[in-house]
Amino acid sequence: MKNRLASMVLGCMVMISAPAYAAGEASEPPMSASADAQTAMSHGEVRKVDAAAGKLTIKHGPLENLGMGAMTMVFKVKDPAMLAQVKPGDTIDFIADEVAGALTVVKLEKR
């Protein structure tokens, strides 16, 4: 009796979870499209460098990976050494992402 009940419960669990698992996979974008969007560099101009706070103020174009339009905003930097690479007025290419709830520059290249 116990084996029969356990088999029925297990069978029901498999029947319910398999379609949900398959639906989850189908809704994800292809890996290459997602990776391209995340690694696309944004362009901007450094407006302010705040070494004490570890932040950059950047006037930037659209941030495709974050779904944001062009604006001027303050970002944290992943590596404080990035701050020494730039000064106000420099044009840059960068990747920003949300890290621990804060918009953060994770990659920076001076143009």
pLDDT, position 8: 62
Rounded-to-integer distance, Cα 18 and Cα 88, Å: 55
Rg (the chain; Cα; Å): 23
Whole-number pLDDT of residue 40: 83
Residue 19's Cβ-count burial label (10 Å; 0-12, 13-18, 19+) is exposed
The pTM of this model reads: 0.66
Class of domain 41-110: mainly beta
How high is the mean pLDDT in each 10-residue block of the chain (111 residues)? 60 57 51 52 97 97 94 97 97 96 96 91
